[in-house]
């Protein structure tokens, strides 16, 4: 079987942010068994004090990345924050809860983009993935509900798309993408996944990395299986 991430150079260096999460930890495990992988830098709030609500903290972690890296995975995110889950309808919208969703799902990853994307190797193919969600698609929204989470992921997609365009100027071989992992059995989805088909974090990590490896265009919003998702 073809080794994962064959499009990256031998000894490629990776950073996984949100390494304590269901999907983040499964991605770390995949990388750890990859014989071509070089250093794997795993960052999490629990173990490393990586707090994505504080720019100074993100800046300090990014500043330690030397030499440059070839793969960045931002696997952070939240659906329930301070025990407040997604809204069923507009009536439940709460400004503080909505702001919290934007801070974790949009502003944090945007700051990660700001400080970590410049750390990608300019001389070779590199990949930066931001875990988004299909429910962040505006065109695909036919159900309503989950307003804050949807809006925060739609905004994340815009951040990723904008960053990808800027990166072309300095890092012409970089692929910067938003990816929907599918419904994955993790603490985030557990309260909401009943009745939906779901995959294990291990399976999700494999398909995410396979799809990332095959991406030939930057600035896309794709699903785990490589299909494009409308914005």
Ligand X SMILES: NC(=O)c1ccc[n+]([C@@H]2O[C@H](COP(=O)([O-])OP(=O)(O)OC[C@H]3O[C@@H](n4cnc5c(N)ncnc54)[C@H](OP(=O)(O)O)[C@@H]3O)[C@@H](O)[C@H]2O)c1
Q: Please report, as ranges, the residues that interact with ligand X according to CB under 6 A.
A: 18, 20-24, 44-46, 50-53, 75-78, 104, 131, 133, 180-181, 183-184, 186-189
CB of 110 to ligand X, least distance (A): 13
Shortest spacing between CB 121 and ligand X, in angstroms: 25
Q: Which is nearer to ligand X, 171 or 205 (CB)?
A: 205
Decide if 108 contacts 91 (C-beta within 8 A).
Answer: no
> Shortest gap between Cβ of 11 and ligand X (angstroms)?
26
Residues 211/226, Cβ–Cβ less than 8 Å: yes
- Closest contact distance (angstroms) between CB of 1 and ligand X is 25
Q: Smaller CB distance to ligand X: residue 133 or 175?
A: 133
Q: Which is nearer to ligand X, 72 or 104 (CB)?
A: 104
How does DSSP assign 76-99, residue by residue?
A: ---SSBTTB---SSGGG--HHHHH
- Nearest-approach distance from CB 171 to ligand X, in angstroms: 23
Tokens at 219, concatenated = 């600035």
Give dist(CA 14, CA 41) in Å, integer: 6
Report the residue number, 77 or 177, with the smaller CB distance to ligand X: 77
3-state secondary structure of 182: coil
**Smaller CB separation from ligand X, 11 or 191:** 191
- For the bound state, the minimum distance from the C-beta of residue 125 to ligand X, rounded and expressed in Å, comes to 24
Tokens in use for 102? 């934007």
| Burial of 225: CB neighbours in 10 Å, binned 0-12, 13-18, 19+ | exposed
Q: How many residues does the chain have?
A: 231
The interaxial angle of helices 108-116 and 55-63, nearest 10 deg, is 30
Q: State in angstroms the smallest separation of the CB of 5 from ligand X.
A: 19
Of the two residues 75 and 215, which places its CB atom closer to ligand X in the complex? 75
CA distance 204 to 137: 20
Of residues 58, 76, 181, 38, the one with CA closest to residue 118:
58
Kindly tell me which of 156 and 215 has the beta carbon lying closer to ligand X.
156
- Cis peptide preceding 30, ω within 30 of 0: no
């Amino acid at each position: 079987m073809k080794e994962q991430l064959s499009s990256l150079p031998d000894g490629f260096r990776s950073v996984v942010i949100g390494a304590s999460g269901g999907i983040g930890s499964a991605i770390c495990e995949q990388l750890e068994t990859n014989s071509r992988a070089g250093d794997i830098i795993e960052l999490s709030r629990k173990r490393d004090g990586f707090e994505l609500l504080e720019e100074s903290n993100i800046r300090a972690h990014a500043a330690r990345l030397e030499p440059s890296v070839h793969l960045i995975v931002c696997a952070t995110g939240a659906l329930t924050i301070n025990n407040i889950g997604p809204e069923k309808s507009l009536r439940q919208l709460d400004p503080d809860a909505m702001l919290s969703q934007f801070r974790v799902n949009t502003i944090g990853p945007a700051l990660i983009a700001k400080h970590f994307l410049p750390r990608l190797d300019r001389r070779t193919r590199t990949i930066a993935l931001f875990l988004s969600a299909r429910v962040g698609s505006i065109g695909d929204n036919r159900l309503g509900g989950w307003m804050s989470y949807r809006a925060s992921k739609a905004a994340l997609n815009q951040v990723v798309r904008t960053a990808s365009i800027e990166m072309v100027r300095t890092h012409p071989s970089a692929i910067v993408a938003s990816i929907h992992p599918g419904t994955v059995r993790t603490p985030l989805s557990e309260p909401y996944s009943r009745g939906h088909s779901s995959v294990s974090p291990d399976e999700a990590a494999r398909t995410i990395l396979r799809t990332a490896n095959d991406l030939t265009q930057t600035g896309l919003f794709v699903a785990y299986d490589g299909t494009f998702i409308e914005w």
